[in-house]
């Protein structure tokens, strides 16, 4: 009886492990698909070096940032991800002065802050 119980527990454990592994693989494949150049377009893909050059000089946000970060847009995973990626370029706009990484006094920050 104990041996049968151990076998059942082992089968349940292996099934749970296989299920978790399958979910992880599917999530990584979905993320890789959304990260591909074909999905984002060559003008939207940015390297880390672009962000590291001067973190206190954010680029101008796209004109349609309000639409891209609208309530309807961020209600989807893809829209939320795209909005977060665009807004993260202006993170320094939300750091208060006099902190070193603050750029909140720049004119471009009004665009990130919705003004």
pLDDT tens figures, 20-79: 888 777 776 665 554 444 444 444 444 444 444 565 688 999 999 999 999 999 999 999
Residue with tokens 């609208």: 70
pTM above 0.85, yes or no: no
DSSP 25: H
Number of CB atoms found within 10 A of residue 70's CB: 13
pLDDT at 82: 92
pLDDT at 35: 45
pLDDT at 38: 43
More confident residue, 104 or 37: 104
pLDDT at 115: 56
How far CA 50 is from CA of 56, 65, 93, 110, in Å, comes to 12, 20, 17, 21
How far CA 8 is from CA of 11, 18, 19, 22, in Å, comes to 5, 15, 16, 21
pLDDT at 29: 64
């Amino acid at each position: 009886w104990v041996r049968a119980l151990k076998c059942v527990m082992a089968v349940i454990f292996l099934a749970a492990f296989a299920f978790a592994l399958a979910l992880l693989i599917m999530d990584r494949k979905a993320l890789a698909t959304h990260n591909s150049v074909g999905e984002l377009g060559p003008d939207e893909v940015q390297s880390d070096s672009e962000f590291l050059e001067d973190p206190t000089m954010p680029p101008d946000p796209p004109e349609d940032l309000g639409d891209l970060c609208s309530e309807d847009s961020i209600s989807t995973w893809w829209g939320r991800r795209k909005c977060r990626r665009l807004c993260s370029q202006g993170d320094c706009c939300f750091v208060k002065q006099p902190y070193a990484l603050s750029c909140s006094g720049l004119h471009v920050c009004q665009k990130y802050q919705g003004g």
